[in-house]
Structure 1
Amino acid sequence: MAKVLAVLSGGYADEENNYVTGWWAEELFAPVLALEKEGHTVGLASPKGGKPVVDPMSLSKEYDPEGKYKELYDSGIADKTTPIVDVKASDYDAIMIVGGHGAMFDLAHDPDLHAVINVVYETGGIVSAVCHGPAPLVYTKTKDGRGILEGLKVTGYPNKFEPEEVVGLLPFSLEDEMKKIANYEPASDKEQYAVWGSDQILTGRDPQSSPLFGKELAEKLTSLEKKEEEKFFK
């Protein structure tokens, strides 16, 4: 049974423009359901700990028509998170950075998160992110000074998917930043898209790709566990 750390934005509010964002419900809950189905466990973290702000749009009828993710949110399972600075990264086999525009504001340049990502990566764990979740990976450097995504095939939320009313409020374009260092692919012709840039790096494109992203991560962790068991019993 693998341990996965899910990292959520604490939330961001622009009162002048009446704009509130945070983490996206489907991008947490769909992968968590896939991981738990495989017997893995998920811990939660956010910059300041406590109850992070969910993007209200992600719980709306438009994006959650069956109310599946709203029900999970209302159950309180995402109400308690550990401050990132207090996370013991070596306890985890993988890190999963949840999207939502909030990730671009408070996760992208968080040095404590970068440190956690590096520990997981350098100890052979999986680093994964979905939608806007790759934002902090763009700015994460390995201990030898190389960008963790440098030269890899990656995906994330495409420019053409961004709502026009939001674009001017964002601190940067995720697609543009990823293209500077990696082989970015939107795969717009596919309903869901998640890609392994290496054996340790997984990225997913958008909320609709969350189930596939979660399935890929869960199955890879199960596969790695089985290989470890086989080594042990040889």
Structure 2
Amino acid sequence: MAKVMAVLSSGYADEENDYVTGWWAEELFEPVLALQEAGHTVGLASPKGGKPVVDPLSLSKEYDPEGKYKKMYDSGIADKTTPIVDVQASDYDAIFIVGGHGAMFDLAHDENLHTIINVVYETGGIVAAVCHGPAPLVYTKLKDGRGILDGLEVTGYPNDMEPEEVRGLLPFSLEDELRKIGSYKAEPDIDQLVVWGNEQILTGRDPKSSPLFGKELAKKLTSREEKEEEKFFK
């Protein structure tokens, strides 16, 4: 059974433009369901700890027509998160960064998060991110100074899917930044797109990719555990 840390934005508000965002419900809950079904455990972290702000749109009828994610949210399972600064990275086999526009604001340049990502990666763990979740990976540097995504195939939320009303409010374009450092994949004809950059880096394109993203992460962790068991019993 692997231990996974899910990282969520604490939330962001622009009162002048009446804009509130945070983490995206589907992008947390679908991977968590897949990981738990495979027998793995998931902890939650955010910059401020406590109850992070969910993007209200992700619980709306438009994006959650059956109320599946609202029901999960209302159950309180995402109400308590550990402050990122208090996370013991060496305790985890993987980290996955939940998307939502909030990740662009408070996760992208969080140095404590960059440190956790590095520890997980350098100890052989998996670093995964979905939708806007790759934002902090753009700015994470390894010990040798290389970017953690440099030269890798990656995906993330495409420019042409960004709502027109928020484009001028975002601090940067995720697609543009990913294109600068890696081989960016959008594949608009594919319903769910996930990309393994290498054996340790997994990215997912958008909310609809969350179920496959979760299954891929769970499958990789299970495979690793099975290989370790085989070594143990040989």
Normalising by structure 1, we get a TM-score of: 1.00
Shift of 1:184: 0.4
Aligned to 2:94: 94
For residues 48 and 19 of structure 1, the distance between their equivalents in structure 2, rounded to whole angstroms, comes to 20
Shift of 1:172: 0.1
Q: Deviations over 1:25-51 (max 9, x none)?
A: 000000000000000000000001000
For residues 130 and 191 of structure 1, the distance between their equivalents in structure 2, rounded to whole angstroms, comes to 14
Aligned to 2:128: 128
Aligned to 1:59: 59
Q: Deviations over 1:195-232 (max 9, x none)?
A: 10000000000000000000000000000000000000
Shift of 1:92: 0.1
Aligned to 1:44: 44
For residues 223 and 187 of structure 2, the distance between their equivalents in structure 1, rounded to whole angstroms, comes to 26
User: What letter matches 1:152 in structure 2?
Assistant: L
User: What letter matches 1:154 in structure 2?
Assistant: V
SS of 1:227 mapped into structure 2: helix
For residues 64 and 187 of structure 2, the distance between their equivalents in structure 1, rounded to whole angstroms, comes to 23
SS of 1:30 mapped into structure 2: helix
SS of 1:203 mapped into structure 2: strand
Aligned to 1:137: 137
User: What letter matches 2:68 in structure 1?
Assistant: K
Q: Deviations over 1:118-173 (max 9, x none)?
A: 00000000000000000000000001110000000000000000000000000000
1:15-54 aligned at under 5 Å gives the runs 15-54=15-54
1:219-230 aligned at under 5 Å gives the runs 219-230=219-230
For residues 166 and 182 of structure 1, the distance between their equivalents in structure 2, rounded to whole angstroms, comes to 25
User: What letter matches 1:32 in structure 2?
Assistant: V
User: What letter matches 2:208 in structure 1?
Assistant: Q
Structure 1 gaps of 5+ residues are none
Shift of 1:115: 0.1
Aligned to 1:156: 156
User: What letter matches 2:163 in structure 1?
Assistant: P
The sequence identity of aligned pairs, in percent, is 82
For residues 161 and 212 of structure 1, the distance between their equivalents in structure 2, rounded to whole angstroms, comes to 19
* Number of equivalent positions: 234
Structure 2 gaps of 5+ residues are none
1:104 partnered with 2:128: no
SS of 1:127 mapped into structure 2: strand
Structure 1 moving runs of 4+ over 6 Å: none
SS of 2:52 mapped into structure 1: coil
SS of 2:197 mapped into structure 1: strand
1:176 partnered with 2:189: no
SS of 2:4 mapped into structure 1: strand
For residues 122 and 187 of structure 1, the distance between their equivalents in structure 2, rounded to whole angstroms, comes to 30
SS of 1:212 mapped into structure 2: helix
SS of 1:220 mapped into structure 2: helix
Aligned to 2:217: 217
